[in-house]
Chains A and B, each alone.
Chain A
Amino acid sequence: MNETTITSGRMNLGVDPVLHAWGWEIPLYLFLGGLTAGILFFSAIFYLRGRENVFKAGIKIAPMWVPPLLAIGLGALMLDLSHKLYFWKLYTTIRWESPMSWGAWTLGVIFPLSTAWAATWMKDVFPRWDWKFLIIEKTVDLLIQYRRWMAWSLIFLSAILGMYTGILLSAFNARPFWNTSILGPLFLVSGLSTGAAFVMLFSKNELERKRYSQVDMVLIGIEIFLIIHMFMGFLASTSVGIQAADMFLGGPYTAVFWTFVVWLGLAFPLLIEIMELKGINVPAKLPAILVLIGGLILRFIVVDAGQSSRWLYKFME
């Protein structure tokens, strides 16, 4: 028998009895970061492949949602800070060992770049659009000439953004459930998948819908593979890793994870998309909505479960 107690008492707010450093703000931001990374990635890729007149929703319209969505994400990040007035200190230094630091800098670059990218498509989408000021008009005209450069930069930066949302968590060895290198690729693939789903949601072009659906199916397949791989890794690791996996294999997160993320967020939409490709009549927007909700719930569960997995003081739970 081993019985441990803290006899002096310890109930530090946000730490005890279970770590609760991050609430809804961080998972919402991670979701929006992944979603916008996905939108930008495919917009840039398909633009470089010369599909701009076919994939209108993916290349031109979806990126216009990126700046407001990123702004909501950054707003959530700001709300999460407990020393808010000092947030600008993030931009006084670059710390390579801190994923949060290079995430902040990536966002600092990708936010204006994605705004510029969206601006270059305004007149394509809204032909009567007027920029009001000549200087903006001329700047946008200039930017249009550099679309290829912008597209290559966006591919690179959106991959970093999507990957970093996972690495941010996986870098914490103190939280065994987060401490898996699978989390980076898993969040990247999930982000790309939600980005593709977002385009499918309002694309009116059959060809575009079909291509994004095919891409999404491949991504969902990879995601399921990564999730299985992640649990295999945990079960083959040390006791804290096995305990982390157990939270999902019979523990408190079992029902919510396997029902809402794996089944309703991945397997079921995959099934519908396969049926749709085979010509069976199914509600077209349903898989996209499910993938988006599944992606959001995945972030919430991962952020929450990681904080519940620890090395010490398990008796406090």
Chain B
Amino acid sequence: MRYAMAIDTKRCVGCSDCVVACQTENNVPIGYCRDWIVEETIGAYPDLALEIRSERCNHCEDAPCVRCCPTGASHIAEGGIVMVEHDDCIGCKACIASCPYDARFVHPEGYVDKCTFCLHRVKDGKQPACVSVCPTTAMIFGDIDDKNSDISKALKTRKHKTLIPEAGTKPHVFYLL
């Protein structure tokens, strides 16, 4: 089993519902966010293209945050989800420096925090909070090892990309083009 997320850039309107849902579901402290919306405008008027992306931790297969963690607090949990064990985290911030996606931050309580793909919900058979609220159904979450899952089908039929694959971390958040 390997969990992944695909975000359809043709459907995403950048409403930020996923950002708010995450903050509410995960009790993210005020002033912080685990996911965010990036809008990229390419070209020159009138030939413009707009790409909107909901971004977050990429739950990399070769995760530098997990490698550099001196205590093992950052670890790969079930389904390849990168998690932080709060009580093992000493707050050295090496993982924050190691993430090319700048997806981590220090929670006001001292430990390092980030997107968990809502593992607590996924374990109960639910979708991550961000996916469940998306009004345009632009987000697909599932198991890419299962050929019949929605995400596997989307990745099979649609052109897609990951962010800075050249950083070599094998990210698992895909963007459908």
Contacts and interface: CB of A to CB of B under 8 A. Distances in A.
Contact of B39 (A5, A99, A173): A5
Given A8-B16, A8-B19, A89-B71, 16 more contacts: A3-B40, A4-B41, A5-B39, A12-B105, A83-B111, A84-B90, A84-B91, A89-B73, A89-B90, A90-B70, A97-B68, A171-B68, A172-B94, A174-B98, A174-B99, A312-B102
Interface string A75-93: 0000011111011011011
A310 B70 CA distance: 23
B104 to A, nearest CB: 7
Contacts of A21: 93, 96-97
A312 B164 contact: yes
Contact of A90 (B16, B39, B90, B105): B90
Interface string B105-137: 110001110000000000000000000000000
A313 B67 CA distance: 23
Contacts of B46: none
A193 interface: no
A238 to B, nearest CB: 7
Contacts, number: 150
Interface string B38-72: 11111110000000100000000000100111111
B97 A174 contact: yes
B71 A93 contact: yes
A129 B36 CA distance: 64
Interface in A300-317: 306-307, 310-313
A3 B41 CA distance: 5
A100 interface: yes
B64 A172 contact: yes
Closest 7 CB pairs between A and B? A82-B91, A83-B91, A83-B110, A174-B100, A101-B70, A8-B37, A12-B105
A95 B167 contact: no
A310 B100 contact: yes
A145 interface: no
Nearest to B67: A97
B106 A13 contact: yes
Interface of B: 14, 16, 19, 31-33, 36-44, 52, 64, 67-73, 87-94, 96-102, 104-106, 110-112, 163-164, 166-168
B7 to A, nearest CB: 14
A10 interface: yes
B145 to A, nearest CB: 25
Given A19-B102, A101-B70, A2 B40 contact: yes
A281 interface: no
Contacts of A3: 40-41
A6 B38 contact: yes
Nearest to B38: A6
Nearest to A1: B44
Contact of A2 (B42, B72, B90): B42
A1 B49 CA distance: 10
B97 A19 contact: yes
B96 A81 contact: no
Q: Which one of A82, A95, A306 has the highest number of Cβ atoms from chain B below 10 Å of its Cβ? A: A82
A11 interface: yes
A15 B102 contact: yes
A269 to B, nearest CB: 31
Contacts of A127: none
Contact of B38 (A7, A11, A15): A7
B13 to A, nearest CB: 11
A209 interface: no
A5 B164 CA distance: 17
Contacts of B96: 14-15, 19, 21
24 contacts: A1-B41, A1-B44, A4-B39, A7-B14, A7-B38, A11-B31, A13-B31, A13-B32, A16-B102, A21-B97, A80-B93, A82-B91, A82-B93, A82-B110, A87-B90, A89-B89, A95-B69, A100-B68, A173-B100, A174-B64, A310-B102, A311-B164, A312-B100, A312-B163
